[in-house]
Amino acid sequence: MSQDSPDLRALREKLEAEEKAYAEVLARVDALAGFALPAESLPELPDQTRRLNELWRSASPPGGLLAPRVWEAVAPALQRQEQWNATVVQILNGQIEENARLHARLRELASALVGYLQRVEPLMDAHDRVSSALATTRSELILEAFDRRQESLGRRFQGLLALRDRVEAVSAEVRAVRAALDKAAPPAERAVEASQAAADSAYVAFENRFRGSADDVRERLSDYVDWFREKAPVVDLGCGRGEFLSLLEEAGVAARGVEANAQMVEESRSRGLDVTRGDLLAFLRAEKDASLGGVFAAQVAEHLPPAVLHALLSESFRVLRPGGLLALETPNPRSVYGFLEVYNRDLTHERPLHPDTLLFAAAAAGFGDVRVEYRTPVEAGSQLQPIPVEGLPERAAGLINENLARLNALLFGHQEYVLLARR
């Protein structure tokens, strides 16, 4: 729960109200404990009490001026008055003593209550600290247990992924070997092809795992079809499983492909595609001058050594007729995300190709109209998010968001780009 949550604010306000009420009660009890005893607030009371008792005890029958007969007449009334006075004095004495004891006990009780309340407060604070510490400890133990559980699940999940990859690799190898052995060829030739197919199957499994299914690749390459509708015949260099060739065929564009991987060649041929197994540069060199309308290669250029790449560009220029199009798709090394997540994943990549490098190399090969288009943007949710401008100076927010946009362009730029070079 964040510090700004309504629940936490309400809890904090309630705690502050309770602490305020507690402080008020403590102050009131403390004030009540300071009352004065009667002997303190009425310092003359002891002398008055003592004087009252002396007057009562010294009362005696008057003599001298009163005749005996008169005394005998008033004596009964005086005796009753004396008895009444004695009773009143006794009552007052008892009440004063009891009040003094009661006030003393009340003061003692109030003092004890104040002392208790004063001790309760640090005790409550200590309890809260202990509870907080225990809660923190419990949370840490729960998180630690959760981390261990997550780590265990992660290991199991990684194990399942490794098992899946292994099954995919073995399945690809079995399919490749079986296809080679089923051919109508001499046993020695079939054995050689089976061995080569088994070696090639590992990369087929890699393509299936990371590049996606044939349907995924077809969807990603479908945008290129319109560029080649009027460019037949078209060749696809490194055509892989033939996804782009099948798209061109469906669009009515005559196309052929070349692929070095034996298993991929067999998979393409099984779908009726015109695919040659061999080296792409040798394939291009066998084509006549100005005989093609289009040359296409997706995720191929980054696999080539510099000398082979320059030769591919020169041969493409030679075999394309005027107006012909060369399209080379490759990972974008200007994007940190594209470089780390796309380029670095494939061990067979030779080197990353900066867009400016390909532009220069194509122009040097003779192409006059060259440009690049960026493809496959990173999802917006994976990029750095702009900050809201509310509550911030407009210029400061603008500068921050401008810098975030620059970082996004560097870190999360398009994952791939395509070189477009026209003859």
Neighbouring residues of 157: CB distance < 8 A, sequence distance ≥ 6: none
- For tokens 């109030």, the residue is 110
Q: Which two tokens stand for residue 98?
A: 């009891």
Amino acid, single-letter form, for residue 36: A
Q: What is the pLDDT of residue 2?
A: 46
Find residue 328's DSSP bridge partners. 297, 419
Cβ neighbors of 326 (< 8 A, separation 6 or more) are: 294, 295, 296, 313, 316, 317, 320, 362, 367, 419, 420, 421, 422, 423
Distance (Å, whole) CA 363 – CA 351 = 20
Amino acid at 397: A
Rounded to whole angstroms, the Cα distance separating 1 from 249 reads 58
The pLDDT profile of the chain, 423 residues, written as one tens digit per residue, is: 445 567 777 777 877 887 787 777 777 777 766 666 666 777 777 777 777 777 766 555 555 555 666 667 777 777 777 777 777 777 677 767 777 777 777 777 777 776 666 666 665 666 566 556 666 666 677 777 767 767 766 666 555 555 555 555 555 555 555 555 566 666 666 555 656 655 565 555 556 555 667 888 899 999 999 999 999 999 999 999 999 999 999 999 999 999 998 888 988 998 999 999 999 999 999 999 999 999 999 999 999 999 999 999 999 999 999 999 999 999 999 999 888 888 888 878 888 999 999 999 999 999 999 999 999 999 888 888 888 877 778 788 788 888 988 988 889 989 999 999 999
* Dist. CA 171–CA 263, nearest whole Å: 12
Residue 92 pLDDT: 72
Give the rounded distance of the alpha carbon of 208 from its chain centre.
Answer: 30
Length of the chain: 423
Q: Which residues contact 372 (CB under 8 A, 6 or more apart)?
A: 355, 358, 359, 417, 418, 419, 420
The token duo for 402 is 């401008």
- The pair phi, psi for residue 323, each rounded to 5°, is 90, -5
Closest C-alpha to 52, from 80, 97, 86: 86
Q: Which two tokens stand for residue 404?
A: 């975030």
In the three-class reduction of DSSP (H, G, I as helix; E, B as strand; rest coil), residue 373 is classed as strand
* Angstrom distance (rounded) from CA 212 to CA 206: 9
Prediction pTM value: 0.54
Tokens, residue 214: 């044939």
197 and 160 in contact (C-beta within 8 Å)? no
Look at residue 193 in the predicted model and tell me its pLDDT: 62
Cα distance between residue 327 and residue 297, in whole Å: 6
Please give the pLDDT value at position 131: 59
